[in-house]
């Protein structure tokens, strides 16, 4: 679902940045009111989980691949506004260091996966799980349904962004300048693949982690007893480490995700031409570790090292952001104490 640079026009990228900016602003203000020293590690943990989960590619129809995101889980545990910041941090690290998603299209990727996905997922979860206990089966069902629907809605939004490009941005003879696929093709490929395969994977992964939290860290779900300790958070970090060691499984899925083809790959998909805008902007940013690989190192080892590096970078970034927000909150006279949606670790 990551949109590379060159698939969206610069004006579209600007619009998507403008659309995402108010959410980032509100998220920073809202999270500042609820974030505590205990919840910063949880935010870092779940954001790093999302990053790692996105490294597990699954095959989709047509020889392409997709991946889960985990944004609904973060929204359920820490609230949708924390999810906006956490997933945005994961996407930033992916784009900057690994070339997964573009920097020009960063606003669009955040709007789709860090805003639409967790907001939709959280809303559906709250509707279904209303007035239920933290350990109830209804909450688990709500999590599975919400995460499934949310990733499909996010894929639909991304497909629309792809699909409008050839309609609005083309040469005098109608040749697309950026994404060459129209709405029909984009929606069919994106929504179909996520509804059939990526969506169930997202629902399964999210439900599995949620069930684990229900059994061992239900206070993270209730978020109503700030001083209560339940379980040990280091066990969750250990589980994340095991997940990182398993990321090479994502290399087994052949093919590139739909709409993420590079210029060279587009020549092999039967398109017949390369849009001039894509040639101009694709690959302008040279990520230090493109495609999660290290130079002169086996793909499996490089993938594992990239997973751990991403976890460290995201954790460090969110720790710095979290500490800055906490300090700013303490300096604010009308700062509010932690409320519903702030988890304890």
In order, the DSSP letters of 45-72 are HHHHHHHHHTT--EEETTTEEE----HH
DSSP character at residue 100? S
Q: Coil, strand or helix: which one is 170?
A: strand
pLDDT tens digits, 184-220: 999 999 999 899 999 999 999 999 999 998 888 877 7
Q: Using CA atoms, how far apart are residues 321 and 311, in angstroms rounded to an integer?
A: 15
pLDDT of residue 33: 86
Query: How far is the first Cα of the chain from the last one, in angstroms, to the nearest whole number?
Result: 31
Reading the chain (345 residues) residue by residue, the pLDDT tens digits are 899 999 999 999 999 999 999 999 999 999 988 888 778 888 999 999 999 999 998 887 766 788 889 999 999 999 999 999 999 999 999 999 999 999 999 999 999 999 999 999 999 999 999 888 888 999 999 999 999 999 999 999 999 999 999 999 999 999 999 999 999 999 999 999 899 999 999 999 999 999 998 888 877 776 433 444 445 677 889 999 999 999 999 888 767 788 888 877 777 776 778 899 888 898 789 999 998 999 888 999 999 999 999 999 999 999 999 888 888 777 665 544 444 444 433
pTM summary value = 0.89
Cβ(85)–Cβ(43) under 8 Å? yes
Q: How far is CA 103 from CA 17, 120, 335, in A?
A: 11, 24, 34
CB of 210 closer than 8 Å to CB of 78: no
Q: What are the residue ranges of helices labelled H in the chain?
A: 10-34, 39-53, 71-78, 80-98, 106-110, 117-129, 137-163, 165-168, 183-193, 199-216, 218-222, 233-245, 263-266, 276-281, 299-331
**Residue that has been written with the tokens 């087994």 in this structure:** 252
Q: What is the pLDDT of residues 59-112, one digit of tens each?
A: 877 667 888 899 999 999 999 999 999 999 999 999 999 999 999 999 999 999
Sign (positive or negative) of CA dihedral 134, 139, 144, 149? negative
> Residues in the chain, how many?
345
The two tokens of residue 305 are 């090292």
Domain boundaries, the chain: 10-331
CATH 1.10.1760.20 corresponds to the domain 10-331: yes
Q: What is the Cα–Cα distance from 337 to 318, expressed in whole angstroms? A: 20
Task: Compute the mean pLDDT over every residue in the chain, rounded to the nearest whole number.
Answer: 88
């Amino acid at each position: 679902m990551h949109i590379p640079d060159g698939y969206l026009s610069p004006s579209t990228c600007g619009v998507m940045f403008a659309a995402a900016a108010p959410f980032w602003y509100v998220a920073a203000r809202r999270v500042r009111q609820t974030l505590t020293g205990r919840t910063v590690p949880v935010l870092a943990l779940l954001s790093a989980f999302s990053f790692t989960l996105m490294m597990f590619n699954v095959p989709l129809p047509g020889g392409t691949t997709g991946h889960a995101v985990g944004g609904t889980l973060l929204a359920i545990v820490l609230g949708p506004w924390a999810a906006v910041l956490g997933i945005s941090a994961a996407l930033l690290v992916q784009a900057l260091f690994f070339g997964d998603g573009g920097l020009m299209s960063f606003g669009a990727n955040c709007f789709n996966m860090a805003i639409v996905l967790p907001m939709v997922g959280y809303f559906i979860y709250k509707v279904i799980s209303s007035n239920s206990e933290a350990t109830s089966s209804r909450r688990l069902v709500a999590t599975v349904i919400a995460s499934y629907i949310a990733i499909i809605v996010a894929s639909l939004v991304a497909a629309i962004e792809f699909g409008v490009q050839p309609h609005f941005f083309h040469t005098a003879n109608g040749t697309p300048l950026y994404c060459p696929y129209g709405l029909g093709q984009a929606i069919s490929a994106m929504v179909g693949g996520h509804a059939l395969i990526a969506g169930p994977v997202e629902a399964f992964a999210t439900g599995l982690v949620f069930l684990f939290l229900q059994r061992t860290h239900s206070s993270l779900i209730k978020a109503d007893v700030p001083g209560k300790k339940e379980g040990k958070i280091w066990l969750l970090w250990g589980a994340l480490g095991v997940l990182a060691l398993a990321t090479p499984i994502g290399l087994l899925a052949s093919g590139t995700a739909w709409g993420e083809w590079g210029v060279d790959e587009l020549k092999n998909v039967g398109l017949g031409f390369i849009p001039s805008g894509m040639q101009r902007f694709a690959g302008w940013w040279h990520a230090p570790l493109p495609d999660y690989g290290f130079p002169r190192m086996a793909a499996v080892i490089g993938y594992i090292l990239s997973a751990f590096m991403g976890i460290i970078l995201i954790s460090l970034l969110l720790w710095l952001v979290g500490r800055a927000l906490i300090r700013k909150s303490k300096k604010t006279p009308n700062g509010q104490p932690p409320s519903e949606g702030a988890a304890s670790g």
